Chains A and B, each alone.
Chain A
């Protein structure tokens, strides 16, 4: 069975600084997709970024980028120029052959002004 692990329950960053959230996963599949979702205090889940496992190039969406290391089964999220609105719970998620989304336990990010 596939698993997703987020080892940082909480992180803090100063406004305008850069922060990296860690995620590792375990799978025997070769074709899969990885996602980062954001859950602000409203609790509405929002997709931040996605990565296809067959692509070597790391995905980037504006201030958000990933470091995808397939051999190490690592998928970290980097947030550059952090803003107060980035404060939220961040979830790493995996989707494989069954199309189910499997989530990690989340990292609560605080942004200090």
Chain B
């Protein structure tokens, strides 16, 4: 089945540690996105990529890093510089056609302990 897979579903991190969230898609989509979801703030864009080896900062990129070495994969690293990393993270992908929908993974809940 085609889809977008995020792993793990739940992740715990100690303060001061970097952690990487996985996002893989087999939909042959060019564009991939990372969003952060906090209560009352909706989904905020962290990074997005429309082509391999290229990515752009979103509205809240500070403390995060990404790579896009393969079309299928767009991992997100939450670094120790991110002051408040506890949140729900959603990965999405889409084709580069203007009115197309984005397909979302099931999310990763990151908790700093």
Q: A-side interface residues toward B, CB under 8 Å? A: 6, 9, 31, 33, 35, 42-45, 47, 50, 52, 91, 95, 99-106
Q: What is the size category of the interface that chain B forms with chain A?
A: 20 to 34
State the total of A-B contacts with C-beta under 8 angstroms.
50
**Cα–Cα distance between A9 and B106 once the two chains are bound (Å):** 23
Contact B50 A99 (CB under 8 A): yes
From A31, A35, A42, A91, B42 is in contact (CB under 8 Å) with A91
Partner of B101, one of A6, A35, A91, A100: A35
Across the interface, which residues of A come within 8 angstroms of B99, CB to CB? 33, 50, 52, 95
- Interface set of B (CB-CB < 8 Å, partner A): 31, 33, 35, 40-45, 48, 50, 58, 88, 90, 92, 94, 96, 98-99, 101-102, 104, 106-107
**A105 & B107 in contact (Cβ 8 Å cutoff):** no
Q: How far is the CB of A68 from chain B (nearest CB, A)?
A: 13
Of all chain A residues, the one with the shortest Cβ separation from B106 is A44
In this complex, what residue of A is CB-closest to B30?
Answer: A99
Q: Which residue of A lies closest to B31 (CB)?
A: A99
Known: A50-B101, A99-B50. A105 touches B40 (CB 8 A): yes
